Amino acid sequence: MRTLLFSLLTLATLPAGAGELTAADQAQAREIYARIIAVRSSVGRGQTGPMAAYLSDVLKRAGVPATDIDTLQVGTVTAMIVRLPGKGGAKPILFSAHMDVVDARPEEWQRNPFELFEENGNFFGRGTADNKAGVAALMSTILRFKAANLRPARDLVFAFVGDEETGMLTTQRIAEHPWVKNAEFAINTDAGGGLTEDGKDLIYRVQGAEKTYATFELTVTNPGGHSSRPRADNAIYQLAHALEKVEAYRFPVMSNELTRQYLGAVGKAESGPLGEALRKFSADPNDAAAAEVLAGDPKFVGTTRTTCVATMLSAGHAENALPQTAQALVNCRMFPGITAETVRGALASAVGDPQVKITVRGDPLVSPVSEMRPDVMAAIARAVHAKHPGVPIVPYLDSAATDAKVYRTMGIPTFGSSGSFAKRETFAHGLNERLPVEAFYEGLDHIYRLAVDLGGVRGRLRR
């Protein structure tokens, strides 16, 4: 397998007519960003339809023909795809972002999560990082192409997914669409990006694979009874004991070439005990001491093994009754090659209580690894090095789940690259989600440069 570490020094000059990102481009993208952050597009709220309608209206007013915009409906969820027709020949390229977000409770946030705030060099709001910055980047790219009257050599298709945070059913519909199904590869804005520490660029990551997402139900049932007559076999206590054992259990250490190269590259940029452990694990995944250090760091534990964690609880039916049912959801991110049944068996063995029923929800989708393409990696390097010269470009295994798993499973190699540089924690899915202002604008230009370069626009980016 070819080496996957890229640190290309490139000259990333945009072709004549392509245009650098202007103040007007920034203002236009910021307005779109603010409008879509204000949409509470979380599951069950029916807001992906209005959001897609707004985006479609912006594009039509900019000259995108209605025939090059298609909306897809799956139940109450809406997705949208937009096409920039090329001159023919090569297969299409897909660019993807998702409109939906994990919900946020305004009363728990320091600011209204559904209003864009710019403070202390950051944009705050639900979806600022995951993934409405990506939506704005796709929109900005299409609008800049239309304004400059650019025509790519091949079709460029832009997907605005409606349910990435839940079932990814619209992602499947997109992958089956005639504009998309023959795509040569995809660029996913919902992954990848640069890591910074103390103002210093460390690496730029390109997602080439991701762990399998699976949720297991742990259920205990009991005849229950009156709360004034406690009994030894209380369903809540029994479930709590089982969860303590899940908490204590560690899956075996695992690695592959992708993870070893990624951890080794990060180790070169990290100092102290953590950097030493990263370098040692990369050189020898059987180094138990190094693996132990990484297991204690949330940033890296998911790269070295399967992980499972309790995320939700439900129990009882009345405050004055003994519980008849207690249930917990345990979310697992499974290392490539590990099946859901293997993980279920490991959890059952760890719990050691046959009365705790353990079942997997749905049918977890296992996606393949996307082998790094030299042309795609070189284009990403040119785009990154335009603003961050010489930073190493490193493929990685993502511990999270994205639309890429659907595209990869349906035969479209997918590479996660957002163009944003930030510290490791953006608080996506959590309180006070944020994205550095500079990272937002760099992400806009990154996706545009990739579309120009990979799309074969005349006078394309030069080495």
The pLDDT tens digits of the residues spanning 275-303 come to 999 999 999 999 999 999 999 998 899 99
Of 70, 6, 80, 67, nearest to 41 by C-alpha is 80
CA geometry: angle 83, 88, 89, nearest 5 deg: 125
- DSSP annotation of 305 reads B
Task: Let me know: does 214 contact 334? Beta carbons within 8 Å.
Answer: yes
Q: What is the pTM of this model?
A: 0.86
- DSSP character at residue 287: -
Structure confidence at residue 298 (pLDDT): 87
pLDDT score recorded for residue 33: 98
Looking at residue 458, what is its pLDDT? 66
Q: How far apart are CA 352 and CA 210, in angstroms?
A: 30
Query: Which pLDDT does position 148 carry in this prediction?
Result: 94
Per-residue pLDDT, 16: 57
Neighbours of 394 (CB within 10 A): 26
If one counts every other C-beta atom within 10 angstroms of the C-beta of residue 255, the result is 20
Q: How many CB atoms lie within 10 A of CB 378?
A: 18
pLDDT of residue 173: 98
Please tell me the predicted confidence (pLDDT) of residue 399. Answer: 87
Per-residue CA distances from 98 to 149, 207, 211, 275, 431 (Å): 26, 16, 19, 34, 20
Distance CA 127, CA 435 (A): 9
Look at residues 140, 168, 76, 71 and name the one whose alpha carbon lies nearest to residue 414.
Answer: 168
Give me the residues of the chain with pLDDT under 50, please: 1-11, 459-463
* 23-209+367-454, CATH topology level: Aminopeptidase (3.40.630)
Query: Within the chain, which residue ranges are assigned CATH 3.40.630.10?
Result: 23-209+367-454
